Structure 1
Amino acid sequence: MHQCREDVLAFTKQLVNTESIVNTAGEKAMAHSLYKIVSEFSYFIKNPSFVTLAQTIDDIHERYNVLAFVKGTKGTSNRTVILMGHIDTVGIDDFNQLKDQACFPEELMKMLKHEELPISAKEHLDSGDWLFGRGVLDMKSGVASNLYLLKYYSEHPEELDGNIVFLAECDEEDSSHGILSALKVLKNWKKEHGFDYVAAINSDFVSPRYAGDVNRYIYKGTVGKLLPSFFITGAETHVGSCFEGLDPNFIAAELTRQINYNPELCNEAYGEITVPPVSLKQTDLKPSYTVQTALSAYVYYNFFIHSWSPKDVLDKLKEQALIAFKRALASFDERYKQYSAASKEPYVELPWAPRVFTYEEMEQLLTKEHGNAFVLHMNQFKQGLVLNEELDTRMFAARVVEEAWKWMKDKNPAIILFYSSLYSPRIELTGKTSREQALIDALDEAVEAVQPSYQHPIVTRNFFPYISDMSFVALSDNEEGIDAVSKNNPGWGTKHYVEYQDIRDLNVPVINIGPYGVDAHKKLERMEMTYSLEVVPNLTNLVIRKLLA
């Protein structure tokens, strides 16, 4: 095994010391700092065009990716392995009075010795084998591992029959502008240098899956993530005559009861199962207090997938929404009857029936009813709305649906189902192509070689369980699956757009070999140094060597 611990640790600290919170100027500073580090390797002094600082495309923030490559001289192969990792982090507000030390591990750890800590964190702090600080785990130690390998091969290109590409991308923690922009550079290099991308190795962090789990995980492929969203309309009334209207919050509550934590909505594939959906927002769209019930409500849920497509998810959730709507109306009716009996006021049969549309269905209906007038109006509305930078993609989508609803002739209560955010595609890596099989074989052999020298089990699983930029280097969905995303996202083409064809063009099998630790995104974020600084670079290196032998 390479004795790389001290080198990778030095790179880790150097990267962590530059604060690079997503959507701040720190991302730009981080990219410039990293570009400077790489540019000063002797290989890149001789080959300055082999390293680039590439600005993101169609992005309201000025930020950059750093990409570099080493061309092997051992043979004439064009096989190329991409080493990728993100350089942005989440914020540091949770560090409170230790904010100034958040990006300086040594100083932070000295201060933490005087804090009251959970037992495991205290043990880690005292062990001498754990490093604390924002970004040490997620995921600057992973980038440092890749940086070490880039430097090594820049000094020993004669050991490579093929090439390695180093990619450090920004904006992973928010909207993936980094990786989506980097695809353009990777495609250009493919054309210009004839690179044949055979594999990508991501270096995002891994954690225990449950309390007491001692495994260190490596992942083939990744979970997909969607944000199914529901615009719910009711029938407005004065709260003093509450049964004359239908509160959309009542339907929203029933919908959340139906969808939240529902095991029926877990997607099993290859013996692995996603966590169920959970609500990330639930609100009505009343701008201020009045004694009228709300006109509409808005909810959205996190939704992970392994084998389902975005279209499958719409079909399943339309069914769930219908169940929830029926239950809400039945419950409303029962309570209304009880109230009528108690108050001696007459009961009137409910005038509403459950209605659920996808955004695509509503748009088709309105285009059919109103023709070009509706299409023109909505295009102008969206163009105007884009100027409001305070609206994120999710609220933008809700406002578009709200505007379209005004054109509905039948204003009876309804649920409109749509997507309001980025779709991070799922990736299955099963060995169905020779490239996939070659990567799986290389990984299995690498684990077998390294395991005897490391005390904890190194275990391979099929789906990386968190959102990551792995989602944007390959595509397991067909056209129909992707169409379900573009046709059902009201912000598509104005507030939000992804060139999924770029992903399809690259389509490289991807695995994740990353640092191990706990409490990512939290104040006590920390990584185990032996695994992260020694095992990770060596495992990654063995996979490279098997693929580019």
Structure 2
Amino acid sequence: MLPCREEVLAFTKQLVNIESIVNTDGEKVIANALYTLLSSFSYFTNNPTHLTMTQTTNDDRERYNVLGFVKGAKGNSNRTVILMGHMDTVGIDDFNQLKDLACSPEELMEVLKNEDLPASAREHLNSGNWMFGRGVLDMKSGLASHLYLLKYYSEHPEELEGNIVFLAECDEEDGSHGVLSALNIFNSWKEEHHFEYIAAINADFVSPRYEGDENRYIYKGTVGKLLPSFFITGAETHVGSAFEGLDPNFIAAELTKQINYNPELSNEAYGETTVPPVSLKQTDLKPSYTVQTALSAYVYYNFFIHSWSPKDVLEKLKDQAFIAFENALTTFEERYRTFTSMSGEPYVNLPYKPRVFTYEEMEQMLIHENGDTFVTHMNKFKETLLQDTELDTRMFAARVVEEAWKWMKDKNPAIILFYSSLYSPRIELTGKTANELALINSLDQAVETMQTKYNYPIVTRNFFPYISDMSFVALSDDEEGINAVSQNNPGWGSKHYVNYEDIRRLNVPVINIGPYGVDAHKKLERMEMTYSLEVVPNLTNHVIQNLLTTIED
């Protein structure tokens, strides 16, 4: 085993001490600090072109990635492994009065000794084998593990048969501008240095899957994540004549009831099942208070996938939206009949029918009816909307749908289904290619080797269960699946764009070997040091060695 604990710990502290909250200037600070550190390594002093700090592209913020590579001196192999991890963290507001200590683990842990803590956190704090603080788990200790290996091989290139490429990316916690911007560097280095990318190893955190779970997980591939969104129109009325209209919030509530926590929308593949969707926003679009019911409502949901494509998800959710609409109308009619019976007012047949369209369907309908006039208007509308820099991609998409809806001749209530944010693609690692099979076998051998040196079970699973930048180094979706994203995102090409073909060009199988801990994104975020600082770097190193010393006949 490499004697790495103290050095990885030192790197971890160095990184954690820099407050690098996503979408703040801290992202620039940590990139500069990391670049300065790497520049001090003798290998990069002698090979300065092997290290770069590059600004993200198509980004409304100034921030940077740090990339470097070490060419092995053991033979002439072009086989190359990518080591990747993110520098940014979520915010620190949850630390409340301890915000000033969030990025100072030792001082924080000293103060926490006097706090009222859950029993497990108290046990970890007193054990001497856990570190607390923002970013210690997600994922600066993982980045420190990669940093250690980069430094080690920069000092011992004669032990490396092939090459390793190091990426420390920004903006993982929001829009993944970092890894998406790095794709061009990866692909240009592929051409310039003839790198043959055979695998990528991410170092994001892993946690217990349930209370009492003592497994330390390694993941092959990753879950995909979508943000299906719904623009819902009603029929406005004065609240004093409530049944003369149809409140879109009523339909939205029924839609959330239908979709939220619905196991029918959990995607099972290879014996593993995604958690079902859950709502992330539900609101109407009234700008201020009036006694008129809302004209429209807007809801969106987190949606994880293992094997379904974005096109599959649209089809499933269109069905679910139709069911919800029917249920809402049935309940509305039942309550209207009860009310008329109680009040003595006459019952009037309701004109409403369930109507559900995807954004692509509505847009094509409007183009067919209005031609270039509609297209020109919408393009100008988007240009104007882009001037509002406070508008995020999700609300931008909603406003585009809202504007397009104004062109609909039939204004009866309807649900419009679309995507309003980044699609993080799912990745299946099944052994279907030579590189996938080599990575799976190399990982299995590494786990077998390291398990004898660690007391807790090291277990491999098929899908990393959290959103991560792993999604952007390979692509399991076909062109039809990707088209379902681009053609149903109203902000595509203006507010939001991803060149998925850059991902397809790289298309490298990826696994996650990361630090172990609990309470990521929470005040008591903490990582277990023995596994994170000793086992993780050595596991990763064994995978690298197994991969790069694999010689084909």
Partner of 1:103: 103
Report the secondary structure of 1:232's partner residue.
strand
Partner of 1:196: 196
Residue-by-residue CA offset, 1:121-158 (whole Å, 9 max, x unaligned)? 01000000000111000000000000000000001111
Residue-by-residue CA offset, 1:185-221 (whole Å, 9 max, x unaligned)? 1111001100000000000000000000000000000
1:278 partner letter: V
Report the secondary structure of 1:45's partner residue.
helix
Deviation at 1:286, TM superposition (A): 0.5
Residue 442 in 1 paired to residue 442 in 2?
yes
Name stretches of at least 5 consecutive residues in structure 1 with no aligned partner.
none
Partner of 1:422: 422
Partner of 1:15: 15
In structure 2, C-alpha distance between the alignment counterparts of 1:119 and 1:509, rounded to whole Å:
40
Residue-by-residue CA offset, 1:454-476 (whole Å, 9 max, x unaligned)? 00000000000000000000000
Deviation at 1:58, TM superposition (A): 1.3
2:508 partner letter: V
Matches within 5 A, 1:157-176: 157-176=157-176
Residue 313 in 1 paired to residue 313 in 2?
yes
For these two proteins, the number of residue pairs brought into alignment is: 549
Deviation at 1:232, TM superposition (A): 0.2
Partner of 2:534: 534
1:277 partner letter: P
In structure 2, C-alpha distance between the alignment counterparts of 1:501 and 1:406, rounded to whole Å:
34
Matches within 5 A, 1:465-476: 465-476=465-476
Partner of 1:432: 432
Partner of 2:406: 406
Partner of 1:265: 265
1:472 partner letter: F
In structure 2, C-alpha distance between the alignment counterparts of 1:281 and 1:419, rounded to whole Å:
14
In structure 1, C-alpha distance between the alignment counterparts of 2:128 and 2:188, rounded to whole Å:
45
In structure 1, C-alpha distance between the alignment counterparts of 2:245 and 2:528, rounded to whole Å:
58
In structure 1, C-alpha distance between the alignment counterparts of 2:62 and 2:334, rounded to whole Å:
56
Residue-by-residue CA offset, 1:220-277 (whole Å, 9 max, x unaligned)? 0000000000000000111111111000001000000000000000000000000000
Partner of 1:153: 153
Partner of 1:504: 504
Residue 379 in 1 paired to residue 353 in 2?
no
Could you list the runs of 4 or more consecutive aligned residues of structure 1 that deviate by over 2 angstroms after TM superposition? none
Deviation at 1:64, TM superposition (A): 0.4
Partner of 1:56: 56
Report the secondary structure of 2:199's partner residue.
strand
Report the secondary structure of 2:198's partner residue.
strand
Partner of 2:326: 326
In structure 2, C-alpha distance between the alignment counterparts of 1:475 and 1:421, rounded to whole Å:
18
2:139 partner letter: M
2:67 partner letter: L
Report the secondary structure of 1:281's partner residue.
strand
Residue 75 in 1 paired to residue 87 in 2?
no
2:546 partner letter: K
Query: RMSD value over aligned CA atoms?
Result: 0.5
Deviation at 1:329, TM superposition (A): 0.5
In structure 2, C-alpha distance between the alignment counterparts of 1:195 and 1:387, rounded to whole Å:
41
Residue-by-residue CA offset, 1:388-421 (whole Å, 9 max, x unaligned)? 0111000000000000000000000000000000
Residue 139 in 1 paired to residue 139 in 2?
yes
In structure 2, C-alpha distance between the alignment counterparts of 1:43 and 1:399, rounded to whole Å:
52
Partner of 1:222: 222
Deviation at 1:74, TM superposition (A): 0.6
In structure 2, C-alpha distance between the alignment counterparts of 1:48 and 1:113, rounded to whole Å:
45
Residue 275 in 1 paired to residue 275 in 2?
yes
Matches within 5 A, 1:327-406: 327-406=327-406
Residue 125 in 1 paired to residue 125 in 2?
yes
Partner of 1:39: 39
Report the secondary structure of 1:453's partner residue.
coil
Deviation at 1:114, TM superposition (A): 1.1
In structure 1, C-alpha distance between the alignment counterparts of 2:244 and 2:524, rounded to whole Å:
53
In structure 2, C-alpha distance between the alignment counterparts of 1:529 and 1:269, rounded to whole Å:
32
